[in-house]
Amino acid sequence: MKEIYQVPTSQSLQGDVIISGAKNAVLPLMAATLLCRGISIINNVPQLDDVNTMAEVLRYLGAKVEHQNSSLTIDTRECDGYQAPYHLVTKMRASIYVLGPLLARLGQASVALPGGCAWGPRPVDLHIAGMQALSAKVELSHGNIHAHAGRLQGADFTFSISSVGATVNLLLASVLADGTTRLFNAAIEPEIDNLVDQLNAMGAQIFGKGTSTLVIEGVTELKAATIDAIPDRIEAGTYLIAGAITQGKVTVKQVQPAHLTALIDSLTATGTLICCEDDSITIDAQQRALQPISIKTGPYPLFATDLQPQWMALCVSLTGVSQVTDTIYPDRFQHVAELCRLGANIRVKGNTACIIGTPNLSGAPVKASDLRAGAALILAGLIASDYTEISDIHHLDRGYQNLIGKFATLGATIKRSHHPVATNQAIAAPLLSLCG
Ligand SMILES: CC(=O)N[C@H]1[C@@H](OP(=O)(O)OP(=O)(O)OC[C@H]2O[C@@H](n3ccc(=O)[nH]c3=O)[C@H](O)[C@@H]2O)O[C@H](CO)[C@@H](O)[C@@H]1O
Ligand SMILES: C=C(OP(=O)(O)O)C(=O)O
C-alpha cells in the first residue's frame, strides 16, 4: 500500500533545525572513491534513498559500503566491476557519475543511459563529449554507454552549457589522465568545490577551485582520503521558505550562509528579516506583510533551480503578482498543476510561470511528481486550510532526511500514513482528533 504525507494547516513555524549533509555533494564524493583502491571515509552523510542507491551501485561494482550514523566507509580494495546496469541507474540519474572514474582507473565503463525524468529530457551529451575529448571511444547501444580507453589523455574541453553533472564526470575522469586537462565554463556550484577538495586530498592536482576554469594535471594513482560533505543548501533553503510561508521564525543550523546568497536576497526582498551568523541563518517573518518576488533560476550563484518549486509555493500564498522563470530546466513545472489543486492561480508560458497569489489555499489530495515538487506541496500544505494529502512521497525520501522530525521541531505535525484516503473530507475529522 502506498504511503502518503498528511500535512495539516500549521501555526507559524518556530525554532531551530539542524541541516544534513548535501545529497548532491555526497553522490560525487561516493563516485570519487572508485578512483583508488583503499578505504575512504565520507562524513556528514545523510540517510537518504539516493545515498542508498549510489551505495548499491558501488556494491554492484565490487565495493564494500557501510553507512553508520552520518559516516560512510567505502572499501574499494577489491572493486573491479565496470558495469552499472539499468535497474540501478534508472533509480537515480547521478549513477552516471561512475562513468568517469571507471574509465579513468579501469580503462572501460558500461553505464546505462539514465533517460528522462519527471519534468522532461535531461541529456548526457556533454558527459559523453567530454569523455571523447579525453580520447575515450564511446558507443551507445541497447540503452547503454560503452566507453573504452587505454589511458585517458588530458585535453581542453569547453562546456557549451554550465553543467554540474558533466563537470563532476570530467573531473573524475581527468584526474588520472595523461597530461594536462583544462575545463572551460565548468560549473562552480559549492558541491563541485567539495569534490575538488576530496580529489586533491586523494592526491589529485586540480587548480582553479571556485572558478569556471579548472586545470587538472593528471597523476598515475590516487589514495583513499577522508572528507566532510558540505551542508545541504537546498534542504536549508526549503526550511527557510517554510519559515516565510508560515510567517514564523526559523533558524537553520550547521549551514554555510554564503551558499544561499540568492535565496537570502530574494527572501529579504519579500519583507522578511534575515540574520546570518557563521553557520546559521535565521528568518523572521512574524507579523510582517510579505510581498511575492519574481525570481529567475540560473547556475550558481544565481537562484537554484532546486529551490524554484518551493519558491513558487511561497509566491502562490502571498497576495500579488509574480513570475518564476527557470532557465536551467524550462519544463520544471510539474508542481504547477498540483499547486492549482490547492487553489493556486498559475499560468505557464514557455519557461515562465505567472502567479496571482492568494492566502486562501485549501487542502486537497495531491501528487509529488519529483523531489522538489514534493517539497513545494509540503510548504503549500502548511498554510492550506484543513489537510493536504501528498502521494508519491518516495520522491521526498530521495532528498530530505527525517522530514517529519525536522518539521516537528518547528511545530508542524506532518504524518506519514499507509492508509489510502478517499477524499479530504472523509479523513478530516479523525485526523483532526489525532493531531489534537
Ligand atoms: C545530483 C545533482 O547534483 N543534481 C543536480 C544537478 O543535476 P545535473 O548535473 O543533471 O544538471 P546539469 O547542471 O547537468 O544541468 C544543467 C543544464 O544542462 C543541460 N545538460 C546537462 C548535461 C548534458 O550532458 N547536456 C545538457 O544539455 C541540462 O539539460 C540542464 O538544462 O544540477 C542541477 C542544476 O543545478 C540540479 O537541478 C540537480 O539537483
Ligand atoms: C533534481 C534533483 O536531483 P537529481 O539531479 O538527482 O534528479 C534535486 O536534487 O532536486
Does the Cβ of 306 fall within 6 Å of ligand 2?
yes
CA 132 to chain centre: 27
Q: Give residue 419's pLDDT.
A: 65
Does the Cβ of 189 fall within 6 Å of ligand 2?
no
- Judge contact between 324 and 295, C-beta under 8 A: yes
Q: Please tell me if the domain spanning 4-20+231-434 has the same topology as the one spanning 23-228.
A: yes
122 Cα nearest atom in ligand 1? 29
Strands, E, within 47-173: which ranges? 64-68, 71-75, 83-84, 108-112, 137-141, 144-148, 156-158
Indicate the top mutation candidate among 122, 234, 306 to test ligand 2's pocket, ranked by most ligand atoms within 8 A of CB: 306
Q: Per CATH, the architecture of 23-228 is what? A: Alpha-beta prism (3.65)
Q: Give residue 326's pLDDT.
A: 98
Q: Give residue 180's pLDDT.
A: 98
Q: How far is residue 20's CA from residue 286's CA, in Å, rounded to a whole number?
A: 26
The pTM of this model reads 0.96
Nearest Cα to Cα of residue 119 among 341, 395, 400: 395
Q: How far is residue 166's CA from residue 322's CA, in Å, rounded to a whole number?
A: 33
End-to-end CA distance of the chain: 26
Q: Is residue 269 classed exposed, middle or buried when 0-12, 13-18 and 19+ CB atoms within 10 A define those classes? A: middle
The superfamily in CATH containing domain 4-20+231-434 is Enolpyruvate transferase domain (3.65.10.10)
Establish whether 293 is an annotated binding residue: no
The predicted complex's ipTM stands at: 0.99
Question: Domain ranges in the chain?
Answer: 4-20+231-434, 23-228
Establish whether 121 is an annotated binding residue: no
Does the Cβ of 94 fall within 6 Å of ligand 1?
yes
187 Cα nearest atom in ligand 1? 13
Element (H, E) at 352: strand 352-357
23 Cα nearest atom in ligand 2? 9
Does the Cβ of 221 fall within 6 Å of ligand 1?
no
Active site (catalytic) residues: 117
Protein residue with its CA nearest to atom 6 in ligand 1:
164
As a dihedral over the C-alpha atoms of residue 179, residue 61, residue 84, residue 86, rounded to 10 degrees, the angle is -170
Protein residue with its CA nearest to atom 22 in ligand 1:
124
Q: Consecutive 10-residue runs of the chain (436 residues): their mean pLDDT?
A: 92 97 98 98 97 97 97 97 93 95 97 84 94 98 95 98 98 98 98 98 98 98 98 98 98 98 98 98 97 98 98 98 98 97 98 97 97 98 97 96 98 88 43 28
Does the Cβ of 338 fall within 6 Å of ligand 1?
no
Element (H, E) at 85: none
